[in-house]
Amino acid sequence: DCDEPVTMEDASIIDTSSPTATTTNTSGISDSITVTVPDVAAAAESSESSSIVDTTSITHSLPILSTTVNVTQSSSSQLSSAPTDIAKDKFDKPVQPEGITFPSLTGFSDWKHGKGKRGTLNIHDFSHKHRAAVLSLKDFQSTNENNTSIANQLERGRKKVIKENRQYVLHLFQVILCCAQQGIPLRGHCEVEHDDSSINVGNFLSFLKLHSRHIELLQSRMTSGPKNATLLSHDYQNSMLSILAKSVLDYIINEMKEAHYFTIMVDETKDISKKEQLTLILRFVLKGVIHERFISYSYCEELNAAALTSYIYDVLTKNGLKIADCVSQCYDGASVMSGSIT
């Protein structure tokens, strides 16, 4: 068996006992075929350690119509000298479409082959790949100048949504701040949507509905917006109140640091559940004006000097104030706080 392709050439008669074999045509048509096969006996005698060569005897007849041919082996590089889309070996060159010059199969080392009418650079200017690249560049520049790309449109849409969300939240904060400044409650007896106008939904929702008559953004969000993104629940109301309280406290602390020295005023009172509430107020002078600012309150389980002192230290430290800047103390029940601990 032959692993490589073979070619048919002029025939020569060979003998089966030698490295050639002859076939006879019994049909009367003159023909002969010559096949080159390995000599098994010669191969065995040439080397004691040589491997056994497998061969197949050729015993068939082939009519050739008075034509004599010779069968020989040929290398794969002789089968196809023209470039193909798949390289057969390292000598094969890949096929490129017509008019394509980059990447080039063969470069040039001087400008006379690069420039000129038949130069590589000039040919490349008229190639399909170069023209497609120029058109792509023009489209890219036009898209960027007019902001018409999909990415730009998505970015503009994202910025619009962010702007609307911030405006909506700002309206909510303004209503909550108004209620807090006036000292009125936010929530009502029932905050569920209904058609009965006699039910009190609270000051917060009532003010928002009043504003929504004149503000389209509020109207659309409260009526047709996603129900899980209205930010009108009591949890969001408490969160916004906490943010406002933190902002007010930061403003007071900045005033206090500008005044530098202060007096602490501590008092306690019982709420409706009979729990002791301890309040802390700072008194200071800023630009010739006396200010008293409430900064904290908490529940106290003990009202002895040690517990009250620990509470005062914690509040001052948490807000970045130094106890060394405290010039005086004022208490309700001064007998408790007049000992050595304070």
120 contacts: CB under 8 Å, gap ≥ 6: 101, 104, 108, 113, 114
Q: Does residue 244 lie within any of the structural domains?
A: no
> How many residues make up the chain in this entry?
342
Q: Does residue 18 lie within any of the structural domains?
A: yes
* Angstrom distances, CA of residue 311 to CA of 167, 279, 292: 40, 10, 19
Both 16 and 57 in one domain: the answer is yes
Q: Tokens in use for 3?
A: 């692993």
- Per-residue pLDDT of 103-129, as tens digits, reads 556 667 777 777 777 777 777 788 888
Residue 214 has, within 13 A of its CA and on its CB side, a CA count of: 5
Both 83 and 100 in one domain: the answer is no
d(CA 332, CA 317): 22
pLDDT above 50 for 47: no
Both 47 and 72 in one domain: the answer is yes
Q: Does residue 152 lie within any of the structural domains?
A: no
pLDDT above 60 for 251: yes
Give me the residue label for tokens 């108004």.
178
Give the per-residue pLDDT at 195: 62
Say which CATH number the domain at 306 has: 3.30.420
Residue 39 corresponds to which amino acid? D
Per the CB < 8 A criterion, the answer to whether 303 and 336 are in contact is yes
Section 78-93 average pLDDT: 56
DSSP code, position 18: T
Q: Does residue 319 lie within any of the structural domains?
A: yes
**Domain final residue, candidates 174, 199, 232:** 232
pLDDT > 70: what percent of the chain?
63
Q: Does residue 245 lie within any of the structural domains?
A: no
Maximal C-alpha separation, the chain: 144
Both 333 and 262 in one domain: the answer is yes
Q: Does residue 248 lie within any of the structural domains?
A: no
pLDDT above 50 for 67: no
Strands 32-35 and 68-73: parallel
100: nearest Cα among 79, 61, 127, 65: 127
Domain count, the chain: 4
Both 81 and 10 in one domain: the answer is yes
Q: Confidence class of residue 199 from pLDDT cuts 50, 70 and 90?
A: confident
Domain interval for residue 60: 1-87
